[in-house]
Copies of this chain bind each other. A is one copy, B any other.
Amino acid sequence: MDATATIRELAARARAAARQLAVSTGQKREQALLTAARLIRQSAQELKTANARDLEVAGQMHLSSAMIDRLKLSDKGIESMALALEQIAAQTDPVGQTLAAYNRPNGLRVEKRRVPLGVVGIVYESRPNVTADAAGLCIKSGNACILRGGKEALHSNTAIAHLLREGLVQAGLSADAVIMIDVTDRAIVLAMAQAEGLIDVIVPRGGEGLIRAVVESATIPVIKHYTGVCHVYVHAAADLDMAERIIINAKCQRPGVCNAAEKLLVDEAVAASFLPSVCRKLRAAGVELRGCPRACQIVPDMKAATEADWKTEYLELILTVGVVRDLGAAIDHINAHGSGHTDAIITRDLSAAQRFTAEVDSSSVMVNASTRLADGGIYGLGAEVGISTDKLHARGPMGAEDLTTYKWIITGQGHLRE
């Protein structure tokens, strides 16, 4: 069967399940999630066995150690998956919420009511916990999902998806609300992106190449982020000790992810006092520094940053360091060179914080906090389907609410158009 036919068949099953889920009670969906959480805990051994098969193949494929690390399901990782499902289950049911309701002067009743999107396609790589997170948020929001994980995690993903399907069945819902695709070539992804009328939205997670391929071929809506070029700006009125802790955390705590800081901007007023010490500590943590001319003047042996450096997401221990004239220059620089993902200001000055949060055009804008905190779990969404740097529909970490749309329900007593 070719990719288009495969997707058509799977999506038809998912759509039937979606119709059932859309009118199911929140209680049933909650029960499906709690049962899946329990089954995940009970099946820790089976999950680790499936994962061991993936790891064995990964070893033969000579994957990088970072990739193998992301693939590995530890006891702690299994517990986290179960916990995330329970947190998602505990949230308020978004389905059926009234977003607005009023009577018009002529007595016509207008209501805007939240409803599921329908069928959500999710394409991702490596980390098997995404299977539970994404499927869990889809079930919570009354959607069916079609999941296509990475080839390297197929056994783990299939085992996890099986438990979510079992949770659905035990709650009296259709197992086909969670469909894991076991075909892992690129053609299936493009077929998903063109499944107009079958899949309502596709969320690709992964490298920029994969995401661009999806966007360019898609005829259905795509929610995505390309890169995370995140900035930390140290304002003239910053608590410099806090600023140092934050940039070290934002850069070093996990450099390979999209919300790690890639750029440090320091206000001219504090550059000479701030930079020497923090740069010494960053270097001690293994960070390569590349600076603007002024930064290179202050910190000896710093490599000069090229124009490309200011827009690059390194995803490793490299940091570009710039000295800026003032708050306005920092905002302009971030809006011109950033990727609209997450940018932070460190300041004790209220009006500087207000101006920065108002004018920086990013999905998350932070005050006195590490960019690494941009995360659905940390924002209280239980998990995230992905992080969007798009402006339409959803922005930033996407939770269950972001997998809904609304309908207008209009009630009259024979109202006509005059």
Residues of A within 8 A of B (CB): 19, 22-23, 102, 104, 108, 110, 117-118, 200-201, 215-216, 219, 221, 223, 239, 242, 245-246, 249-250, 253-254, 353, 357-359, 361-370, 372-374, 378-380, 390-393, 395-397, 405-417
Contact = CB atoms under 8 A, between A and B. Distances in A.
Contacts of A408: 363-365, 374, 379, 395-397
B410 A372 contact: no
A80 B245 CA distance: 59
A221 B357 CA distance: 25
B412 A367 contact: yes
A400 B367 CA distance: 29
Contact of A412 (B373, B410, B413): B373
11 contacts: A22-B358, A221-B390, A253-B417, A353-B411, A361-B407, A362-B407, A370-B415, A373-B415, A373-B417, A374-B408, A379-B410
A110 B380 CA distance: 9
Contact of A239 (B245, B367, B374, B414): B414
Q: How many copies of the shown chain assemble into the complex?
A: 2
Given A219-B215, A249-B417, A417-B249, A366 B412 contact: yes
Contacts of A353: 411
Contacts of A221: 221, 390-392
A122 B390 CA distance: 19
Contact of A395 (B254, B359, B407): B407
Most B-side CB within 10 Å, residue of A117, A380, A390, A410: A410
B365 A413 contact: no
A405 B392 contact: yes
Contact of A416 (B223, B370, B415): B370
A253 B410 CA distance: 19
Nearest to A366: B410
Contacts of A409: 357, 364-367
B253 A407 contact: no
A280 to B, nearest CB: 19
Which 8 A-B residue pairs are closest in the complex by CB-CB distance?
A369-B412, A372-B417, A249-B416, A393-B393, A242-B414, A391-B405, A369-B415, A364-B408
B378 A117 contact: no
Nearest to A18: B361
A382 to B, nearest CB: 12
A221 B200 CA distance: 14
B417 A104 contact: no
Nearest to A117: B391
Contact of A391 (B200, B216, B368): B200
Contacts of A223: 392
Contacts of A361: 118, 407
A91 B372 CA distance: 38
Contacts of A362: 407
Contacts of A369: 108, 410-412, 414-416
A391 B19 CA distance: 15
A399 B23 CA distance: 28
A214 B94 CA distance: 33
Contacts of A415: 368-370, 373
Given A102-B380, A380-B110, A393-B393, A370 B417 contact: yes
A108 B378 contact: yes
A220 to B, nearest CB: 9
B366 A411 contact: yes
A23 B359 contact: yes
